[in-house]
Amino acid sequence: MRRPAVGSIVTVIAVLIFAKVAAGQAPRTQARKLPPAVAKAVDATRPGAEIDKLTIETEHGLTFYDFEFKHGQGEMDVLVDGTVLDVATVIQMKDLPVVVAATIRKVAGKRTIKQLTRSEVRAEIVSEGGRARVATLSPAKYVYEAEFAGEEVEVAGDGTIIKRGK
């Protein structure tokens, strides 16, 4: 009887772990691997929230963690140093400013709105002369996002469309 090579077993285990993470079933230890400042910011902003999806992104050379939480608990982006860039909260149409709701209804037309979020943008990554820096916004600004079949739209608090696309 032939014994499987150790390398093959390790490969199979690695593929199974990767498949679980890719399917959004990240191991519970994932949160423990966060930089302490990031974990502290998440705990302070979304206490008890469960991570559904976590991606590490880079913008203008600065790395941040993009969290999506389970059970409609929203999303947030946090820099490695713990600076919270934005916090998105799932809301309902009645929670939107009147001008924002009008813009979203116009763009949506007859399509069903899948999800509405209000993002409290606390800081932005800006590039000046090829160097990135974090600009803290005080007061924070609010951006509203609507998702519907095949499209998303971001709207400013005054009803102006910021971004539209897939």
27: Cβ contacts below 8 Å, ≥ 6 apart: 17, 20, 21
Residue 166: predicted pLDDT: 80
In a domain, 17, yes or no: no
Q: What is the DSSP string of 151-163?
A: EEEEEETTS-EEE
Residue 1: predicted pLDDT: 37
Q: How many structural domains does the chain have?
A: 1
Residue 32: predicted pLDDT: 55
**Beta strand extents in 60-112 (DSSP E only):** 62-69, 75-79, 84-91
59: Cβ contacts below 8 Å, ≥ 6 apart: 125, 132
Residue 3: predicted pLDDT: 37
Q: Which residues of the chain, if any, have pLDDT below 50?
A: 1-30
In a domain, 113, yes or no: yes
40: Cβ contacts below 8 Å, ≥ 6 apart: 82
In a domain, 131, yes or no: yes
In a domain, 7, yes or no: no
In a domain, 20, yes or no: no
Angle at 53 between CA 10 and CA 69, to 5 degrees: 140
**Residue 98 three-state SS:** helix
Count of C-beta atoms within a 10 Å radius of residue 76: 25
Instruction: Using alpha carbons, select from 123, 121, 105 the residue that is nearest to residue 113.
Output: 105
Residue-range definition of the domain harbouring residue 126: 34-165
The amino acid at residue 125 is I
In a domain, 75, yes or no: yes
Residue 23: predicted pLDDT: 43
Count of C-beta atoms within a 10 Å radius of residue 38: 22
Residue 149: predicted pLDDT: 85
CATH number, domain with residue 101: 3.10.450
Residue 33: predicted pLDDT: 86
Give, for 159, the enclosing helix (H) or strand (E). Answer: none
In a domain, 10, yes or no: no
The model's pTM is 0.76
In a domain, 24, yes or no: no
What does the chain come to in residues?
A: 166
Q: What is d(CA 53, CA 67) in angstroms, rounded to the nearest whole number?
A: 6
